[in-house]
Structure 1
C-alpha cells in the first residue's frame, strides 16, 4: 500500500468505470451507482481492513495487484458469506470492474481506439505523492489499455518495429503522457487520462524527451491534430501553440 500518498475522493479509474458501465455496457445510472457503491464501500472496506489500500479499490493503478486482491477476496470466508447474503451483488460488482480494467471490452472491438474514445470525460485532478517533491499519481492500467488499443503500433509512426516481449508475445511499446504530468498545475482536470496518453516505440518516446525541437514539433503537431478535440472533451482545452509550448520541453 502507498502509505505516504495524500488521498482524495476522486479516482480516474472510478470515473472511467462509470462511463464504461453507462456507454459501453448500456447499464442504467441506478445500476451503475449500485456497482460503484459496492466497490467503494464494502469491497474497499475489506481491502482496508487487510491493509491493502488506504481508502479505495479505485486507487490501485496496477493490474497485477488488482488480480491478486480479487483472488484474496474471493477466498475470504467472511466476504463470501456477506456476498451470499447480498445475492452476489459484491462479486458481480467486482467482476464488472475487473472486466473493465482487463480491457476485454475494447480488445474485441473492430476499432479498439474508438471504444476508448467513448469514455473521454473531464476528470478532477487526483492527489499526489508527498515525497521530497510533489509527483502526481499516474495509472499503469490506463497506459496498458492505451497501448493495447493501439494494437501495439507506434502512434508517431506505425511502421516502426520493435522486439517482441517474451511474456506477452506483443511488440514492445511504451505509454507516454503527451502533456507531461509536471504541467498538471496548469489544469483543473487530470492529465492522466486516455486522451493524453499515446503508444510509442522506444525510439519515438526518447525522441519526444530528448530530440531536436524541429523533430519533436513534427510529431507533436500530428498528435494535437488527432487529439485536440479529445483533450477538450477531457477538460484539457489548449490551443495548438500552447500545446506545443507545454509538450516540447517534455523531459
Structure 2
C-alpha cells in the first residue's frame, strides 16, 4: 500500500510525444506547419546540446517529467556557447523550448474544448516494455495489515475521515504509511519497517503527506513526530525534530 514510495515510472515513445506536440501546435492551436517545423528545428539543436551535457540519450522528448525538463533547460541556459547561439538565432531555440514546455505542462489545456482534444486522438505506437533496475528495501505486508487493524481501520491523522468499504476486508479502506520513508533506510542501522514507524492513513491523508504543499506536509510530519518519537527511540531512532523533518520531508 506504500506505493507512493516506489519510483513513479511513466514512459512514452519519443515518436508519440512528437506526434502529440505537432497536433497540439497545428491542429489545436492553429499554427502553420512551417511554424511547427521551426520549433522542431530548435528542439533538435537543444537536444544535441543536452546530449553533449549528458542530460539525455538522444533527445529532449525523453525527459518524462516537468522537473527533468526544467532542470535540463536550466543547465543549458548556463552554457555560454548555447546562449550565444540562441541570441544569434533571434531566440529561435528558446522559442522552441518555451512552446514545448507550455505543451508539456498543459498550461493551455484548461482552455481546450472537447472538440479541440478530439483532434489529438490518434493511434500511437506501443513501445516495448522497459526493464528497470532499482533497489527496494524489504517491507512486511503483515505489519502493514496489522497497523491498519490496530488503528481499527481509522485514519491516524483524524479518526473522523471516512473512505469506503473495501471488497477484500469488508471494512473501511485505509493505507499503511512509513513515517520515515524506506528510501532513507541506508542512513540507519536498524530497520524502518517496524510498528513504531507505521501509521494508518486514509487515501487523502496518504497523498497529502507525500504531495501537498510543504507547509501542510510539515504540519502532518510534526504531529506524527510528537506522537511517535518515544516509540521510535525504543526502536533505535533518536532524532531531533529538525533532523526528523529533514529526513522525512524529501
- Structure 1 length normalisation: TM-score? 0.46
- Structure 2 length normalisation: TM-score? 0.46
Kindly name which structure, 1 or 2, has the bigger radius of gyration based on alpha carbons: 2
